[in-house]
A and B are shown apart, each in its own frame.
Chain A
Amino acid sequence: MSVTPGVRPLDVRHAITDVGRRGRLWYLVLGAGLGIGVVAFGYQWWNGLGVTGLSNTISWGMYIITFMFLVGVSAGGLIVVAGSELVGSRRFEPLTKLAVIVSGTAIAAAALSILPDLGRPQLAWKMLWQPHWTSPLIWDVLVITLYLSIAVIDLWILTRPEPRPGAMRTLAFIALPAAVLVHSVTAWIFGLLVARPFWNTALLAPMFVSSALVSGTALLILVAEVVDRTSDWDPPDRVFPDLGKLMIWFLGVDAFLLFAEILTTYASRVPDHVKQLNVLLLGRLAPVFWVEVILGVVVPFAIYASRLRQQRRWVVIAAALALLGVFFKRINIVMTSMFLPLVGLAPGIPGGRPGQGFRPDPIYVPTAIEWGILIGVASFVALLITLGVRAFVIPRRSAGG
């Protein structure tokens, strides 16, 4: 207990509250965003999920997409930290705390963002009280809880005045498999369904892991950039190109898996699969898909193929594009399967609400309520990262650091 004993608790509070005018404005914006989310969720809870753009045909939408995306971005931090720890690399050490905070926040937000998708959130406890073990959803609840716990314990170890050297390494042995599991199990929520040919592929879990790694490292780059710009935190310059290289390798694997899936489907011509892929590549989802491929894959690769990769600004731009690409990919994964029910004869599936009729040709447009909840979740993520960064990452003037 040699370094600044007894200063910490007060110090943390100080770091969070003493933020200046711009900081207060930022808190205000996030608070308003959170308020919008809470009000929207309350309104939806009261009136039912009919206030969303969902129907019996497209029964999963924005909430599930957000959930998948957040589970994905939670990958980056912990895998970078645990991976470096296991191979004994010190390269990303300056990022360790930030990485753990981003991961922990993302997984907590993922767990939170799935609640509005429930028709009866007040009964969510039944998943724990009477779990049905054949349901991938139950396993996802377990593995997300495990992953969140690892992030919290990691952060706790890192913020001890004298961290025990072996602790992080020991935890890394659990963290790495848990990180792979959390994405795989989330993928298996979709991938194990015979009813949805587009999801029902063994490649789905590996693809989720690769997309997760892309989006996770991309978000880490973005957060590091923002924190670097807005605070005294000063990471070594090389962490950006290093993280960027990691991201582009992950993106390569991700693109390869996507290509393998498309090639297999078109070459083997299984009718159901081809029909679904046609919707994605040539049909109504084509705009989203090609934006995903061009902005999310081609442009980042072009940046890295050129000399632009040496400029930090372009590393950040590539990361932003890759992150956007993965979000679009999540939209595509959910929507492709929802658009094409297996029994697609006329008049189709009943919409579900008075006057909606049947939906042979389903559309889904998220409503203001869904956007409101999304704003709330995004504000939650930003707020938690801000608080975490202020408390644990930015050096404290008051502590003489």
Chain B
Amino acid sequence: MLEVRDLDLAHVGVVLAETDTPTASAVDEPPAVTSEKVSPVQALSDASRAYGEIGETSSEPRWGMAVDTERCIGCWSCAVICKSENDIPLGMWWNRILTDGDELDTPRVGEFGGLELDWVPLACQHCDDPPCMKVCPTSATYVGEGGLVEVHQEDCIGCRYCMAACPYGVRVFNWGEPDHALPFDHGMVEPRPIGSVEKCTMCVHRLREGQVPSCVWSCPAQARIFGDLNDPEGELVRTIEARGGHRLLEDKGTEPKVHYLEPRRRRPL
């Protein structure tokens, strides 16, 4: 254990958490935490939890997200951790990274003949006026805590009306017995039954523990900002106000809660 402590893994936690809880004392003197015995797993876990904390919100949070397309590097990390976190069967994605162009791996020819590659990470937009919820015949799709659009799997009759109604094409259906890449259950949520529709939950199970959604936590480019749209002082609202940006298919009147921040400069390849 001594060597482990020498590696100072606990300190990593402090560094990672710095953006959320900066402490003036941590800069000058070594953190007090190193004097305690902490296992590396525990240390990493603590660090990741500290990093993933939602932080301050208003009294009635309305969860939303901003995706900074300037920072997104199109690595699909968020899509993969989403599959793992939510135990999403093979052949389905709740979250995928679209390439702005005709092919997944082909850049666009931009202004002055330069090549450009941009991505649109796409998952449920958690609309304030969700078309999928309106058409659900059994209220299986509903607007739940924090304004999120969720699905009661036990009420879903599998009519797929919501899939026809969703302008974003983010809902997926369980066409058969779910098949997984790993031979064990790796998800943090209940698997969904055959014949029902599922989609991004904004990791509502993590939100309840004060943690940001997995895709936000895992983004290596920190391209996703999660927060409370009702909190004018929060990072999310301040960033959206500062950067502007757009929401997908705004003209359809669905009032999505995911905002896309435009790149401030072009990045020619």
Check A149 for interface membership: any CB of B closer than 8 A: no
A355 sits at the interface (CB 8 A): yes
Query: Cβ of A193 and Cβ of B165 under 8 Å apart?
Result: yes
> Whose C-beta in chain B lies nearest to the C-beta of A124?
B157
User: A49 on the interface (CB 8 Å rule)?
Assistant: yes
Most chain B C-beta atoms within 10 Å of own C-beta, residue among A55, A130, A135: A135
- B156 near A350: Cβ-Cβ < 8 Å: no
- Chain B residues within 8 Å of chain A by Cβ, number: 55
- Beta-carbon contact of B99 and A345 below 8 Å: yes
Please, which residue of chain A has its CB at the minimum distance from the CB of B158?
Answer: A119
Minimum C-beta distance from A382 to chain B (A): 27
Given contacts A127-B137, A352-B91, contact A195 B158 (CB under 8 A): no
A343 touches B169 (CB 8 A): yes
Given the complex of chains A and B, what is the CA–CA distance between A337 and B164 in angstroms?
A: 9
Which residues of B lie under 8 Å from residue A126 when comparing CB positions?
137-138, 155, 157
Collect the chain A residues with CB atoms within 8 Å of residue B177's CB: 48
On whether the beta carbons of A193 and B96 are closer than 8 Å, the reply is no
A55 to B177, CA, bound (A): 15
| B179 is an interface residue with CB less than 8 A from chain A | yes
Q: Would you call A238 an interface residue if the criterion is a C-beta within 8 Å of the partner chain's C-beta atoms?
A: no
Q: Which residues of B contact A117 (CB under 8 A)?
A: 159-160
A347: chain B residues within 8 A (beta carbon)? 96, 98-99, 104
Looking at chain B's contact residues, the main secondary structure is loop
Q: Report if A29 contacts B (CB, 8 A).
A: no
Contact present for A342 and B135 (CB under 8 Å): no
**Contact assessment for A195 and B156 in the assembled complex, using a CB-CB cutoff below 8 Å:** no
Known contacts: A50-B175, A137-B161. The answer to whether A353 contacts B91 by CB under 8 A is yes
A376 CB, nearest partner CB in chain B, Å: 20
Say yes or no for A268: interface residue by CB 8 A criterion. Answer: no
Q: In the complex the two chains form, is A354's CB within 8 Å of B90's CB?
A: yes
Within B157-190, the residues touching A (CB, 8 Å) are 157-161, 163-169, 171-177, 179
CA distance A195 to B131 in the complex (A): 8
Let me know if B93 is at the binding interface, CB within 8 A.
Answer: yes
- Contacts A132-B139, A135-B134, A352-B92 known; A342 to B195 CB distance under 8 Å? no
- A194 is contacted by which of B103, B173, B252 (Cβ under 8 Å)? B252
Number of interchain pairs (Cβ within 8 Å) = 170
CB distance from B195 to the nearest CB of A (A): 3
Does B203 reach chain A (CB closer than 8 Å)? no
Interface of A is mostly: loop
Which residues of A sit under 8 angstroms from B164, Cβ to Cβ? 59-60, 190, 193, 195-196, 337-338
Cα–Cα distance between A343 and B166 once the two chains are bound (Å) = 10
A135 — which chain B residues lie within 8 A by C-beta? 134-137, 161
A119, A193, A353, A356: the one within 8 Å of B159 (CB): A119
Interface status of A123 (Cβ within 8 A of chain B): yes
Q: Would A119 and B157 be within 8 Å (CB), given that A193-B135, A194-B131, A194-B252 are in contact?
A: yes
Q: Which residues of A contact B131 (CB under 8 A)?
A: 193-195
Interface residue ranges, A against B (CB under 8 Å): 47-51, 54-57, 59-60, 117-121, 123-124, 126-127, 130-132, 134-138, 141, 189-190, 192-196, 337-338, 341-343, 345-347, 349-358
What are 5 A-to-B residue pairs whose CB atoms are below 8 Å? Answer: A118-B195, A126-B157, A342-B252, A347-B96, A353-B91
Knowing that A341-B169, A353-B175 are A-B contacts, what are 11 other residue pairs whose CB atoms are under 8 Å apart, sorted by A's residue number? Answer: A49-B173, A120-B193, A126-B157, A134-B135, A137-B161, A194-B167, A196-B164, A342-B167, A345-B101, A347-B98, A353-B176
Closest 5 CB pairs of A and B: A119-B158, A119-B195, A50-B176, A50-B175, A345-B98
